[in-house]
Amino acid sequence: MEITSMKNAQRTKNWRICIYGKPGVGKTSAVRYLNGKTLVLALDNSAKVLAGQDVDVVEFDRVHPDQAVTEFLRDMQVEQRNYDNLVIDNISSFERDWFIERGRATKSGINNELQDYSAWTNYFARVISAFYQLDLNILVTAWEAQVPITTASGQTFNQYAPEIRNSVRDMFMGLTDIVGRMIIKPDESHTRGVILEGDDSVYAKNRLDKRAGCVIEELFNFDV
């Protein structure tokens, strides 16, 4: 049994962060605020917004997502030593592409079969665990969805959360240090910010510092 003392552990070493929000809110563009050398796995092929930035991009094969992820994780066993940050952009798009690929293998060539949904739960658990075992910081982006939740008092709300199937969402967010909803302030400033403290209407959490929210430019500057 390996025992680790947490007395001198660094809370912000190899952090795992997820930001989610509407398409076009600026999730991919947030990459420019990362410190150090960054590699972007462009799961939805939206990396053009990073033109002119000092980042490296791996374009993703969306037709064969399962094979593409396997090959990427294999290559990262060596490549991770060359980077400080890995950006997985966009996990919601990857989920959709995975189900489309599985649907092509069915009799109809379109519709998914019941076993695909349980297969996704097991598959995603293995994939996200493999990513999170890499020795570098990891930023994951996702679209947002409204998820029905029921409180202890029996009240039902629609809560904003990352757009990914219910069967894997809780596990994924439990492994992640910060989950924040990215929004644009509805005034003349159009300031982009991230909600880091959740409530019944928004899923968010922050176990790296005490901030309840911040502008996107400061997200990766931790107050510890």
Identify the three-state secondary structure at position 205: strand
Gyration radius of the chain over CA positions:
18
pLDDT of residue 189: 78
d(CA 111, CA 99): 9
Position 188 scores a pLDDT of 78
State how far the Cα of 123 lies from the Cα of 210, in Å rounded to an integer.
33
* Domains observed in the chain: 16-218 (3.40.50.300)
Q: Give the pairing of strands 205-206 and 213-215.
A: unpaired
DSSP code at position 44: T
pLDDT for the residue numbered 154: 84
Alpha helices in the chain (DSSP H): 65-79, 91-104, 114-132, 166-175
Taking 80 as the threshold, does the pLDDT of residue 144 lie above it? yes
End-to-end CA distance of the chain: 30
Which tokens sit at 69? 């992820």
Judging by DSSP bridges, how do beta strands 56-59 and 38-42 pair with one another?
parallel
User: What pTM, to 2 d.p., does this model score?
Assistant: 0.91
pLDDT digits (tens, 9 = 90+) for 87-130: 999 999 999 999 998 888 777 778 888 888 899 999 999 999 99
**Where is 51: in which H helix or E strand?**
none
